[in-house]
């Protein structure tokens, strides 16, 4: 296939259609979350916001440890079976096993939660141990319900019930936000109020979804079907833990290596910068991956799969890079707008670093697919473990000297290492010929945008530039960089097809 040849519109059209539907709920979640940030920073303060970031770290980590990626194996092996009865057994076996394991482990941890508090949240801080113990109890109760909800959502993705998936997520989100206003804003429960709202939403959703699944499919555990899924999924548990660490461990390392008197506050400031920087990940990458995985699993021709990984990798990085430029250039204004408390305003310094890192993260997610298809999950673990080692060592060196900015630098470096490793592995496994020239052009535009943002923000902070002039220069920079991406990365035929696609959407 020549470099000028565009991919077939038919299969990718369905891919992008379902991605758009799946992205609706995360998009709404991010809009509401961004809108609520001003309330959260006011209600919780920088220390409370920092503890919330640590809670997020442990919620994701426990889900990975207890087998969320085994549920990903459910999606992979579902398509290996042809009869509806066997497919039903795949779903119920994975759901029941993971749910039972989660309740067993988290229930046991609840009985001995006292000694876990300093291990999970640090020894000292502005928020004391008694409150942290209550927060930990709610965290342990929440995890089993979250895993059951994930299982139900995976099954909806298998069935391509994207509209129902989005509707349930939206209702759940609105319920939790309403409870936050009551429990945090009115009652004043702080982080406990945030977790209680999540617990109510997850419990209702998981009971409804799992109940529907078990009634429809009948509650059965088939160890013959389950065994190969566990063999496939077992290496994905450490992979998932590694990926969780890549996204979240910097918060825990800030608690460990920053000045204990302000560590929780610094974590809160960094958490706000990370939240803004990862908007593109939540609104583009995650929804796309929910469709990309089952889509590519269904492609039987190895050559076609390799071609799709190469071309979709370029499109994914282009989409993420273009969207990230807005965050990178206007990050400082976004922080000031969203955080009522001036203590948070320094968070803008890490936005170009983290948003740039997520451009590499999008490329890694596409590049790992040949290893998942080949069931080479052990190799994935090696790639992710290397990235975690780089992250931890780099943070240990940079945080004591540069604070939360050092953590931002390591996010960029780590995701770059991860994406390069993924591309090398995909080329070795499936002979994927990544479009390195076009990828390099996209990365260069993002780097230029980040450098411009830091330079303009430094002048703005020193009052060298007025706010209107700063915004004007940033807007002009954004237009120029987007124009370079449009002309310099996309081929003429691809631009024509994109304009035709937009015209068709307008016609509908």
In the chain, what are the domain boundaries?
Answer: 9-495
Provide the pLDDT for residue 124.
62
Which of 82-91, 183-192, 305-314 is predicted with the least confidence, judged by mean pLDDT? 305-314
Give residue-wise pLDDT tens across range 286-332: 767 666 666 676 677 888 878 888 888 888 889 889 999 999 999 99
Does position 5 have pLDDT exceeding 50, yes or no? no
Provide the pLDDT for residue 6.
38
Q: How many percent of the chain have pLDDT more than 70?
A: 89
Helix (H, G, I), strand (E, B) or coil at 306: helix
What value does the mean pLDDT of the chain take? 84
CA 366, CA 355: separation in Å to the nearest integer?
Answer: 18
Provide the pLDDT for residue 287.
66
Q: What is the 3-state secondary structure (H, E, C) of 58-123?
A: HHHHHHHHCCHHHHHHHHHHHCCCCCHHHHHHHHHHHHHHHHHHHHHHHHHHHHCCCCHHHHHHCC
Beta-carbon neighbour count of residue 218 at 10 Å?
Answer: 11
Query: Looking at per-residue confidence, does 11 or 102 come out higher?
Result: 102
Q: How confident is the model at residue 29 (pLDDT cuts 50, 70, 90)?
A: low
Give residue-wise pLDDT tens across range 397-409: 999 989 999 999 9
Q: How confident is the model at residue 466 (pLDDT cuts 50, 70, 90)?
A: confident
Query: Looking at per-residue confidence, does 33 or 208 come out higher?
Result: 208
Provide the pLDDT for residue 476.
95
Does position 2 have pLDDT exceeding 50, yes or no? no
Helix (H) or strand (E) holding 218: none
Give residue-wise pLDDT tens across range 206-242: 999 999 999 999 988 888 888 888 887 777 778 778 8
Q: How confident is the model at residue 4 (pLDDT cuts 50, 70, 90)?
A: very low
Instruction: Note whether 49 and 271 are within 8 A (CB).
Output: yes
Beta-carbon neighbour count of residue 173 at 10 Å?
Answer: 17
Q: How confident is the model at residue 10 (pLDDT cuts 50, 70, 90)?
A: very low
Instruction: Note whether 347 and 327 are within 8 A (CB).
Output: no
Which of 226-235, 392-401, 498-507 has maximum average pLDDT?
Answer: 392-401
Residue 437 φ/ψ, nearest 5 degrees: -65, -45
Q: At what angle do helices 9-65 and 68-78 cross, to 10 degrees?
A: 150
Q: Please report, to the nearest 10 degrees, the dihedral formed by the alpha carbons of residues 140, 145, 149, 155 taken in order.
A: 100
Q: Tell me the mean pLDDT in the region 36-43.
A: 79
Query: Looking at per-residue confidence, does 178 or 19 come out higher?
Result: 178
Does position 7 have pLDDT exceeding 50, yes or no? no
Provide the pLDDT for residue 292.
67
Helix (H, G, I), strand (E, B) or coil at 368: coil
Rg (CA), the chain: 23
Does position 45 have pLDDT exceeding 70, yes or no? yes
CA 16, CA 20: separation in Å to the nearest integer?
Answer: 6
Q: Tell me the mean pLDDT in the region 243-247.
A: 82
Give residue-wise pLDDT tens across range 53-63: 888 888 888 88
Q: What is the 3-state secondary structure (H, E, C) of 352-364?
A: HHHHHHHHHHHHH
Q: Tell me the mean pLDDT in the region 329-341.
A: 87
Model pTM greater than 0.85? Answer: no
Q: How confident is the model at residue 160 (pLDDT cuts 50, 70, 90)?
A: confident
Provide the pLDDT for residue 28.
67
Instruction: Note whether 391 and 250 are within 8 A (CB).
Output: yes
Which of 93-97, 141-145, 307-311, 357-361 is predicted with the least confidence, judged by mean pLDDT? 307-311
Q: Is 215 exposed, middle or buried (0-12, 13-18, 19+ CB in 10 A)?
A: exposed
């Amino acid at each position: 296939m020549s470099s000028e040849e565009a991919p077939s519109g038919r299969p990718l059209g369905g891919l992008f259609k379902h991605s758009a539907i799946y992205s609706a709920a995360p998009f709404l979640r991010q809009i509401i979350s961004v809108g609520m940030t001003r309330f959260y920073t006011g209600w919780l303060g920088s220390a409370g916001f920092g503890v919330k970031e640590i809670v997020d770290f442990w919620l994701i980590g426990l889900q990975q440890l207890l087998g969320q990626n085994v549920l990903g194996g459910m999606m992979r092996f579902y398509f290996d079976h042809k009869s509806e009865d066997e497919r039903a057994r795949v779903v119920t076996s994975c759901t029941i096993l993971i749910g039972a394991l989660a309740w067993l482990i988290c229930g046991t941890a609840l009985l001995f939660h006292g000694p876990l508090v300093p291990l999970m949240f640090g020894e000292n801080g502005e928020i004391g141990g008694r409150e942290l113990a209550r927060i930990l109890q709610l965290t342990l109760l929440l995890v089993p319900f979250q895993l059951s909800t994930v299982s139900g959502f995976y099954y909806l993705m298998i069935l391509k019930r994207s509209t129902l998936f989005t509707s349930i997520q939206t209702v759940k989100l609105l319920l939790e936000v309403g409870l936050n206003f009551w429990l945090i804003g009115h009652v004043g429960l702080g982080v406990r109020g945030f977790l209680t709202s999540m617990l109510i939403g997850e419990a209702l959703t998981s009971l409804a979804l799992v109940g529907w699944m078990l009634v429809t499919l009948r509650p059965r555990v088939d160890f013959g079907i389950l065994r190969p899924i566990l063999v496939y999924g077992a290496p994905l548990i450490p992979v998932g833990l590694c990926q969780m660490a890549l996204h979240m461990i910097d918060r825990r390392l800030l608690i460990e290596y920053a000045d204990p008197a302000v560590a929780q506050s610094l974590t809160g400031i960094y958490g706000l910068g990370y939240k803004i920087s990862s908007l593109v990940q939540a609104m583009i990458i995650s929804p796309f991956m929910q469709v990309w995985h089952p889509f590519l699993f269904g492609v039987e021709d190895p050559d076609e799969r390799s071609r799709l990984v190469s071309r979709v990798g370029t499109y994914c990085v282009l989409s993420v890079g273009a969207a990230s430029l807005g965050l990178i250039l206007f990050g400082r204004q976004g922080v000031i707008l969203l955080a009522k408390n001036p203590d948070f305003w320094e968070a803008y310094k890490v936005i170009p670093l983290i948003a740039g890192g997520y451009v590499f993260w999008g490329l890694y997610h596409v590049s790992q697919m040949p290893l998942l298809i080949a069931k080479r999950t052990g190799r994935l673990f090696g790639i992710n473990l290397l990235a975690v080692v780089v992250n931890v060592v780099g943070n240990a060196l940079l945080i004591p000297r540069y604070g939360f900015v050092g953590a931002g630098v390591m996010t960029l470096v780590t995701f770059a290492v991860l994406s390069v490793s993924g591309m090398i592995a995909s080329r070795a496994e499936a002979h994927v010929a990544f479009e390195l020239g076009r990828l390099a052009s996209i990365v260069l535009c993002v780097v230029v945008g980040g450098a411009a943002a830091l330079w303009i923000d430094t002048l703005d902070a020193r009052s060298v530039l007025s706010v209107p002039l700063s915004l004007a220069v940033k807007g002009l920079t954004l237009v120029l960089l987007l124009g370079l991406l449009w002309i310099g990365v996309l081929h003429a035929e691809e631009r024509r097809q994109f304009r035709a696609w937009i015209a068709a959407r307008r016609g509908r």
